[in-house]
Amino acid sequence: MESELVTFPPKTLNRELYLIGFRLDPGEDGPQFYTLIGDEGESERPIMRGGRLLLFRKPIDGLKALMASDNGFSDLRPVPTELELLCDISGALYVANAEEIDAEGVLFEMIAVFDDLLRAIRLNVPPEYTAVLSQVAERLAQNPEFASLLTRKQLSREKLEDALMWCVGAVAVKSTWIDDRKVQ
């Protein structure tokens, strides 16, 4: 018979916030929008309100977004203003379409970030997209060269691009923006 022992006093969680930026426009040098990711040791999840991902346009609006959140991170401080990760959506789409190797890891990072975001907003990726994303992510976790996998598994770059764009669209429609002038 197995029993789980409850530790006393309870283990203190090391909770942190990370600023994540997103770049959509390939003509821009940096991110066009941001969110905060809360880390509680075993799990990471974005700040949310009413089941929707909270996004904002400037790093200084992170505190407003955090105060508006309702999924357990609103009390956490300090609020970071330095970027932890740039999720380069435009760069990842370029790599998916034109490169043999994900040399800088932008495609792998995008798949990983959007996996976390989609889990948080409780959306399931359609099976045909799950297959290509999981196979590419598994490959990229071991080797930045992915083109041979696409060829060997008969996965088209178009299907990979469609899967990535589905993820972006799904997250976009399940997000809300913090106005940079006031909290909504």
Tens digit of pLDDT for each residue in 111-121? 999 999 999 99
Mean pLDDT of 159-178: 97
Q: What is the mean pLDDT of the chain?
A: 91
Residue 83 lies in a domain: yes
pLDDT of residue 162: 97
In a domain, 95, yes or no: yes
**What is the structure's pLDDT at 184?**
44
Q: What is the pLDDT of residue 183?
A: 45
Please state, in angstroms and as integers, the Cα–Cα distance from residue 54 to each residue in 123, 124, 152, 178, following that order. Answer: 16, 19, 39, 7
User: 106: how many CB neighbours lie within 10 A of its CB?
Assistant: 22
On whether residue 133 sits in a domain, the answer given is yes
- To 5 degrees, how large is the angle CA 66–CA 87–CA 17? 30
The pLDDT score that the predictor gives to residue 43 is: 78
Encode pLDDT of 38-97 as tens digits.
987 777 899 999 999 999 999 999 999 999 999 888 888 899 999 999 999 999 999 999
Tokens representing 8 are: 């006393």
What is the Cα–Cα distance from 48 to 167, expressed in whole angstroms? Answer: 17
pTM value?
0.88
> Considering the domain boundaries, does residue 10 fall inside one?
no
At residue 72, the pLDDT reads 85
Lowest-confidence segment of 3-7, 13-17, 43-47, 125-129 by average pLDDT: 3-7
89's tokens: 């959506």
Domain assignment of residue 52, yes or no: yes
State the amino acid at position 43 in one-letter form: S
Is residue 11 in a domain? no
CA pair distance 181, 184, nearest whole angstrom: 9
In the predicted model, what is the mean pLDDT of residues 154-160? 95
What is the distance, to the nearest Å, from the Cα of residue 107 to the centroid of all Cα atoms in its chain? 12
- What was the pLDDT predicted at 41? 74
Predicted pLDDT of residue 1? 47
Residue 182 in domain:
no
Domain total for the chain?
Answer: 1
Residue 3 structure tokens:
């029993």
Q: For residue 23, is it within any domain? A: yes
Token readout for 109 is 């990072």
Q: How much is the CA Rg of the chain, to the nearest whole Å?
A: 18
**131 has a pLDDT exceeding 70:** yes
- Sign for the pseudo-dihedral over CA of 168, 172, 174, 178: positive
